[in-house]
């Protein structure tokens, strides 16, 4: 395995475990055992567990960008379909995890944002990126009809992203898709 | 200190620490040190840390009920003021904690709901209770004007509660009041 492959294997294993168990619940030893990578290789790539976790946030963002590019940003579709495909793609991901795993960025926010500024910066900028994609969608919708909101597009986009995070959180409490379906219905009504 | 006072002191200390540090980040030894209660007294009242944490959820619900009764449920006020006072009271609580502590029920959902069914049941029923208060408010609003939503009152109430949870989560990522202000503005626009 090349150094790059080793790093990637560590990141994927860590992302999987942090997502399902949380940051504090996941020890470095479990990451090493499940990835079958020796401790020395870990420390060749990462100074410590925290630096490693920050790198998994980049990985989560990258994975999510791919989903967003195929759905929300797919300008070959109508805005309605871009929004609907985004919702359906997300739902499918969560279904695969029995609606138990939540949003990895949201999880890390709850667990770490107030305890460590490096996490806070990183999750804040992750949210900002998702917001821009929704602001783009809103701008495209407004080419055809006026939306009923008293704020600017970025503020509405933030409301949509935050309410989505809340729906994903509630999904974890209920362990079913209803909160996300309910979010979709209300936001669809607001946008179209 | 009576047995009831000892129990209450433990609960208040545990609630304070869980809220700010999370469940896994807070050890029993810290709870005992900060409450100055001996371990034997702890085990007289609680079988283990988990049973204790479930009791702190009851305490959080009780505290929150008081805030809700004084604001959202205060039928001497107009629905607009009930909603606005609720928002302002919540904002004040979070300001005291520098917008860093998040919703204690939301925090425990992220951290524990998928790992332990007892937590999942408890947080799910906590959300259900808040929702009923919002459904009441919506019913009162609809006595004067029709709302523009295609769902029933409880579904709209769930959307409001979930979007609020998301705003509180985002508040932790940003460490300022903006996400809650933005939530207030959009939900106000939806309701009035």
Of A114, A175, A185, the CB nearest to B100: A114
CA-closest candidate to residue A103, choices A72, A86, A127, A129: A127
pTM: 0.94
Q: What are phi and psi of B124, to 5 degrees?
A: -60, -45
- Sequence-separated (6 or more) residues with CB below 8 Å from residue B168: A166, B94, B102, B103, B106, B179, B180
On chain B, the residues whose CB falls within 8 A of the CB of A19 are none
On chain B, the residues whose CB falls within 8 A of the CB of A165 are 166, 169-170
Of A25, A175, A189, the CB nearest to B120: A175
Q: Cα–Cα distance between B4 and B143 in angstroms, integer?
A: 45
Q: Which chain A residue has the Cα nearest residue B117?
A: A173
On chain A, the residues whose CB falls within 8 A of the CB of B113 are 100, 172-173, 175
Sign (positive or negative) of CA dihedral A82, A87, A92, A97: positive
Instruction: Say what the ipTM of the complex is.
Output: 0.93
When scoring A128, A163, A177 by the number of chain B Cβ atoms within 10 A, the one with the most, hence best to mutate, is A163
CA distance B78 to chain A (A): 22
pLDDT at site B148: 74
In a structure prediction context, what are the per-residue pLDDT tens digits for chain B, which is 192 residues long?
A: 899 999 999 999 999 999 998 898 899 999 999 999 999 999 999 999 999 999 999 999 999 999 999 999 999 999 999 999 999 999 999 999 999 888 999 888 888 888 899 999 999 999 999 999 999 999 999 998 888 777 789 999 999 999 999 999 999 999 999 999 999 999 999 999
Q: Cα–Cα distance between A144 and B55 in angstroms, integer?
A: 53
How many Å is the maximal CA-CA distance in chain B? 58
pLDDT at site B95: 96
A156–B120 CB contact, under 8 Å: no
Q: With a cut of 70, list the residues of chain A below it in pLDDT.
A: none
């Amino acid at each position: 395995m090349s150094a790059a492959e080793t790093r990637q294997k560590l990141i994927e294993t860590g992302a999987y475990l942090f997502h399902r168990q949380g940051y504090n619940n996941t020890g470095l030893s479990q990451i090493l055992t499940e990835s079958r990578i020796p401790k020395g290789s870990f420390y060749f790539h990462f100074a410590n567990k925290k630096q490693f976790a920050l790198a998994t946030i980049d990985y989560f963002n990258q994975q999510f960008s791919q989903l967003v590019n195929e759905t929300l940003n797919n300008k070959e579709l109508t805005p309605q379909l871009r929004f609907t495909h985004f919702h359906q793609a997300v739902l499918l991901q969560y279904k695969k995890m029995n609606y138990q795993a939540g949003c990895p960025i949201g999880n890390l926010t709850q667990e770490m944002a107030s305890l460590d500024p490096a996490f806070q910066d990183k999750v804040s900028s992750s949210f900002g990126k998702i917001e821009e994609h929704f602001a783009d969608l809103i701008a495209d919708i407004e080419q055809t009809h006026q939306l009923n909101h008293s704020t600017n597009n970025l503020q509405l986009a933030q409301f949509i992203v935050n309410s989505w995070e809340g729906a994903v959180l509630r999904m974890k409490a209920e362990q079913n898709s209803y909160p996300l379906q309910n979010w979709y219905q209300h936001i669809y009504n607001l946008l179209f």
